[in-house]
């Protein structure tokens, strides 16, 4: 079980205050973002602070633990491994693969004397079962692909324009540190991860029949990253392509992609009335490298790619994010975090007065004093405009957290 890893202290610091607390710690996120290695880091952290530790480790992706199929099997195994004279820490990787796992975890909580940590790769399954059985008794921590700072650390790179381009092009899956950052190598790997997510975490788990449509849907989201999307709009587009899929089926398939943490759904909100619209949302990819594996990396897509990247940075930084509507204007991101609020517009370059008016003018229309930022790749930056900051993407990713 001993593994070498690069520490992701951002997550350790978030989880550490809940060690020894009577709540289940659940680490969720897309396949291959590093949840298993976060368990190893937590194990080592606990060993460093508790001389009386007893670690019980279960990984449902390993053949050694195939016999643990349901809640009863899990309880039997844990009880056999328990040392009543020590502090028992239970680590379960891919807990959703154990039938009725929530019953076993609840039983262990009632028994007392266990500190439980789990990982999972299916948001719908975990949230449904946990909300039913463990309401108020768990903390969820979302693990993401590498932030830009982490990408630099993992790949031992200096912060530079070239480093940023590598991050934009290849994404932030941690395993990339074991590969040469060359297109044919990286995208071969990413294509295999994409197929695994699609077939194991979505098609097999949800018994998807129309796999061809699911693949077309992912391609559509890649092509329309950052654009307003609705089930009816997708259904109408497909009808124009002689494919008849109802909006309800589209909604189901979109929910499967979201539940596997493959894409994020960002609802639209009216900034003045604070109303959340039920129709029309945006979708962004958890990892840009996987998006490119689906659609290819094209310079023509740079605007939507940068918008996805800024979204990910805000998401990793802990913001709840909406896309904003103000009269007939659009605000890319309306972000809240505790008592903070932030408005962000994203552009590749501020090339002319029309673009300037769209990006800065839209923010200027918001009549409050919360920070407002335009993020772009312009090399020549001014001091902003009427209190609205103008930041280069590199500055935003490294300084604004």
Contact predicate 152/178, CB 8 Å: no
**Edge-to-edge, what's the strand order for the sheet holding 114-120?**
53-59, 87-93, 114-120, 24-28, 138-142
Q: Is pLDDT larger for residue 328 or for residue 207?
A: 207
Lowest mean pLDDT among 30-39, 220-229, 349-358, 362-371: 349-358
Q: What is the per-residue pLDDT for 192?
A: 97
Q: Is pLDDT larger for residue 63 or for residue 384?
A: 63
Contact predicate 111/105, CB 8 Å: no
Domains and CATH numbers, the chain: 9-142 (3.40.50.300), 148-399 (no CATH)
Q: What is the per-residue pLDDT for 357?
A: 86
The pLDDT tens digits for 213-266 are 999 999 999 999 999 998 888 888 888 877 788 889 999 999 999 999 999 999
| Structure token digits, residue 222 | 């890649």
Q: Assess whether pLDDT exceeds 70 at residue 276.
A: no
The pLDDT tens digits for 113-134 are 999 999 988 776 666 667 677 7
**Average of per-residue pLDDT values in the chain:** 92
User: Helix axis angle, 71-81 relative to 101-111, nearest 10°?
Assistant: 40
Return the percentage of the chain with pLDDT > 70, whole number: 95
pTM for the structure as a whole? 0.93
Angle, vertex CA 284, rays to CA 289 and CA 389, nearest 5:
100
DSSP string, 311-338: HHHHHHTT-EEEEEEETTEEEEEEEEET
Mean pLDDT to the nearest integer, 82-111: 93
């Amino acid at each position: 079980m001993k593994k070498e890893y690069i520490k992701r202290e951002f997550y350790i610091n978030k989880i550490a205050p809940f060690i020894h607390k009577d709540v289940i710690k659940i680490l969720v996120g897309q396949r291959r973002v590093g949840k298993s290695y976060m368990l190893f880091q937590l194990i080592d952290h606990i060993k460093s602070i508790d001389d009386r530790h007893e670690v019980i480790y279960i990984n449902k992706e390993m053949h050694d633990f195939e016999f643990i199929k349901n809640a009863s099997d899990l309880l039997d195994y844990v009880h056999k491994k328990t040392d009543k004279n020590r502090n028992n820490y239970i680590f379960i990787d891919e807990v959703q693969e154990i039938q009725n796992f929530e019953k076993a975890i609840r039983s262990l909580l009632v028994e007392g004397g266990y500190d439980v940590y789990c990982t999972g790769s299916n948001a719908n399954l975990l949230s449904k079962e946990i909300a039913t059985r463990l309401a108020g008794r768990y903390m969820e921590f979302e693990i993401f692909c590498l932030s830009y700072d982490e990408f630099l650390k993992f790949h031992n790179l200096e912060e530079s324009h070239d480093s940023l381009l590598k991050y934009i092009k290849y994404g932030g899956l941690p395993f990339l540190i074991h590969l040469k950052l060359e297109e044919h190598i990286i995208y071969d790997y990413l294509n295999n991860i994409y197929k695994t997510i699609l077939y194991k975490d979505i098609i097999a788990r949800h018994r998807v029949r129309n796999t061809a449509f699911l693949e077309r849907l992912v391609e559509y989201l890649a092509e329309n990253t950052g654009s307003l999307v609705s089930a009816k709009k997708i259904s109408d587009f497909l009808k124009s392509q002689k494919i008849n899929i109802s909006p309800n089926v589209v909604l189901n398939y979109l929910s499967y992609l979201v539940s596997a943490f493959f894409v994020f759904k960002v609802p639209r909100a009216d900034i003045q009335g604070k109303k959340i619209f039920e129709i029309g949302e945006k979708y962004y990819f958890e990892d840009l490298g996987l998006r490119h594996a689906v659609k290819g990396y094209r310079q023509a897509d740079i605007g939507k790619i940068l918008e996805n990247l800024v979204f990910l940075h805000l998401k990793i930084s802990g913001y709840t994010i909406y896309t904003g509507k103000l009269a007939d204007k659009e605000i890319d991101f309306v972000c809240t975090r505790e008592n903070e609020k932030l408005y962000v517009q994203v552009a590749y370059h501020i090339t002319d007065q029309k673009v300037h008016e769209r990006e800065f003018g839209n923010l200027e229309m918001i009549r409050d004093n919360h920070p407002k930022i335009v993020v772009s790749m312009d090399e020549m930056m001014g001091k902003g405009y009427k209190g609205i900051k103008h930041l280069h993407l590199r500055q935003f990713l490294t300084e604004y957290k």
